[in-house]
Each structure stands twice: as C-alpha cells, then as structure tokens.
C-alpha cells in the first residue's frame, strides 16, 4: 500500500484519503462501514465524529490514526474519546483534548465557571446487552436433541425447560462476573495512573466508561463502588468505602452510551434510570433523527472523595447517582436519564 499524505494536513476526518484506506479494510471492519456506508447511522456518526475531531486540537493526528485502525479496540477507543468530547461540549462545558500536565496527558480537561476536572476515557464497548443476548438465551444443551416430529411427554418437557433455564442462568452468571471483573480492573487501573496528578493539582478526576449501545455498565459500576447501595441500602461495602485511600481522588464515574430515539425503557431495575428524550420529536416525521447521534450519560458520584465534582461540572443532561447528603441511600436524579442529541 502506498504511503498517503499525513492525515493532519486536511480539514475533514472522512476525506478522500480516509475513504481510500477504508476500502482496503476487510469487509467486517467497523471503520470501513463507518467511512463508506450510506446507512443513516453511519452518516450521523461521521458528522458528529468529524465535528468533535475538528475541536480536538493537537490530538487530531493521534485520534485519526486510532479511528482508522482495523482492530476494534483501537478504533472504538478513539471513537469513544471523540464522542465523549462532543457530548460534554453539548452539555455546555469547555473541553480541552489531551492537555499536557506534568508528564501525563489525560484524555480531556473540562471546565466551567472557574472549575476544572480531568476526564480519562476507557471504552467498555461490546460488554453488555447486545453480545450477551445470543449467548445467554441460546445455551448449548448436550444430550437434549429432539428429532423432527418427535413428541415430548409433559414430564420430559418440564425437565427440558428446567435444563434450559439452568443453562441460561449459568451463562448469564459467567458473563456477569466477567463484566464485573473487567469494570473493576479498568477503574482501578485508570484511578491509580492519575492519582498523583489529580491530588497534586487538586483537580477532580472522572473516569468515563464508554459502552456504545450496551446498557449494563452503570449497574456494574454501582455494584463495584457502592456495594450494598446497589440493593437500595446505605453504602457499607464496595470500592468507594473500602478503597477510600487509593480512590480518594476519584470524583465520579461517567458511563456514556449511544441510545436510539425510539428506545423506551432501558431497564426496569430501580437503579437504572429510564431514557427520556429532551425535546421529543414528531414521530410522523421519519427523517427527523436520521442524522443525529443520541447519547445518554450516567454519572455515579464517589461519596467519600476528597475532590468532589463541582455542581457546575454536573450540568443538566446527566443522570446522577448519589445521595442527597453524601451519606444516605443513593438514588438517581433525575429519575429518568435525559437523552442528548448531537
């Protein structure tokens, strides 16, 4: 493949060079779909990602290279940072991409009203509902083959149903544990890396976990951080309480994901806020949301942090999981997480 001009020389993220590179990717490449597809979702993502890339300053070259990667992890990591930048900017915050502080460059620095905070983005995409659905609902059951046309007795049908239910439960439990472990490891690693910087600069520190179209990460963060609070009780366990020394600088965890305007309730669990669209669109207009990207942000506050996130950096458009006085039983406010369109 011939070397193409440096990607930082152009003004558009999805230019002719990008399209030429995408055409060389394998057909299952997400970057190929994103860059070349006429699908409304791809068109909307290109517009939003390009706008965020334009505002990413000196990070443009790094982010473009990451987005162009054929490997999913590299690609979605860059996409997560760009969408987080766009989302926070939409909420009215000033966002600086990859500021140089000491010898570290956190992904973002947000500011408003004289307040600042550091934000580090970590993609957890591909860990929630969508990839679980097929695996958990269609477990393989050995020695349970039924020949075409074979009639099952009522007793055998009950036995078969119990085996299927047990297999589903076991598959879901294994996936739950795997996801919980992944969330815990990601949060601890990011928190440790930026602990000294946040404390020395007295800057609140937020870890953003980007989950794309999944919906499970916020619940896992609550379980991890609040312990018994995840069951509607005052927090007496969990990383926030037990790891307060090493996590004292961690102000909050922001879980950011994409959501369709037509999506109704994301979860009936009392700890998972309902999706509520800001500025509802006319459903009779089919083209109304074709070129928009809709995001939901769920902010879980650390009740024992020494660097609390100022109210100015918690604008409307976020669902916030916290207690009123910092010590009582935490809950979501507002009860429904708004959906923010970019």
Tokens of 326: 């910092």
Residue 251 phi/psi, 5-degree rounding, is -80, -40
Write out pLDDT tens, residues 188-237: 999 999 999 999 999 999 999 999 888 889 999 999 998 855 555 555 57
Q: Which residue has the tokens 């009936």?
A: 268
- Per-residue confidence (pLDDT) for residue 143, from 0 to 100: 45
Write out pLDDT tens, residues 117-151: 999 999 997 654 333 233 334 444 444 455 556 66
Reference 210, options 58, 108, 333; nearest CA is 108
- Per-residue confidence (pLDDT) for residue 194, from 0 to 100: 96
How far apart CA 142 and CA 176 sit, in angstroms, is: 23
User: From the CB of residue 222, how many other CB atoms can be counted at a distance below 10 Å?
Assistant: 24
Residues of the chain with pLDDT under 70: 1-10, 126-152, 167-176, 228-236, 243-244, 260-290, 325-327
How far apart CA 194 and CA 213 sit, in angstroms, is: 27
DSSP 188: H
Query: What are the angstrom distances between the C-alpha of 47 and each of 197, 261, 321?
Result: 34, 17, 31
Give long-range contacts, CB 8 A cutoff, 24+ apart: 132-135.
132/172, 132/175, 132/216, 135/171, 135/175
- Per-residue confidence (pLDDT) for residue 322, from 0 to 100: 92
How far apart CA 73 and CA 41 sit, in angstroms, is: 20
- Per-residue confidence (pLDDT) for residue 128, from 0 to 100: 42
DSSP string, 36-48: H---HHHHHHHHH
- Per-residue confidence (pLDDT) for residue 2, from 0 to 100: 32
How far apart CA 142 and CA 139 sit, in angstroms, is: 10
- Per-residue confidence (pLDDT) for residue 3, from 0 to 100: 34
Global confidence as pTM: 0.78
Tokens of 11: 């003004």
- Per-residue confidence (pLDDT) for residue 172, from 0 to 100: 60
Cβ proximity of 257 and 209 under 8 Å: no
- Collapsing DSSP to helix, strand or coil, 96 comes out as strand
């Amino acid at each position: 493949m011939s070397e193409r001009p440096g990607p930082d020389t152009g003004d558009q993220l999805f230019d002719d060079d990008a399209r030429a590179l995408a055409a060389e990717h394998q057909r299952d490449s997400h970057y190929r779909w994103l860059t070349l597809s006429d699908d409304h979702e791809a068109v909307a993502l290109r517009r939003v990602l390009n706008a965020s890339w334009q505002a990413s300053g000196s990070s443009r070259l790094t982010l473009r290279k990451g987005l162009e990667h054929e490997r999913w992890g590299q690609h979605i990591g860059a996409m997560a940072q760009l969408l987080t930048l766009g989302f926070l900017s939409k909420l009215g915050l000033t966002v600086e991409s990859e500021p140089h502080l000491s010898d570290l460059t956190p992904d973002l620095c947000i500011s408003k009203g004289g307040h600042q905070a550091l934000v580090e983005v970590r993609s957890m995409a591909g860990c929630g509902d969508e990839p679980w659905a097929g695996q958990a609902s269609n477990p393989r059951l050995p020695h349970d083959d039924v020949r075409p046309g074979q009639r099952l007795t009522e007793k055998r049908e009950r036995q078969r149903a119990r085996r299927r239910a047990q297999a589903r439960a076991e598959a879901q439990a294994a996936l739950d544990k795997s996801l919980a472990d992944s969330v815990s490891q990601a949060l601890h690693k990011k928190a440790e890396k930026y602990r000294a910087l946040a404390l020395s600069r007295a800057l609140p520190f937020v870890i953003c976990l980007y989950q794309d179209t999944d919906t499970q990460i916020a619940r896992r963060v609550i379980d991890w951080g609040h312990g018994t609070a995840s069951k509607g009780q005052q927090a007496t366990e969990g990383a926030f309480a037990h790891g307060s020394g090493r996590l004292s600088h961690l102000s909050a965890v922001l879980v950011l994901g994409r959501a369709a305007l037509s999506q109704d309730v994301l979860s009936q669990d009392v700890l998972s806020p309902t999706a509520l669209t800001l500025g509802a669109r006319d459903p009779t207009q089919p083209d109304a949301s074709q070129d928009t990207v809709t995001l939901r942000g769920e902010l879980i506050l650390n009740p024992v942090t020494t660097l609390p996130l100022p109210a100015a950096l918690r604008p409307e458009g976020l669902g916030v999981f916290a207690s009123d006085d910092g010590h009582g039983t935490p809950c979501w406010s507002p009860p429904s997480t708004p959906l923010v369109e970019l």
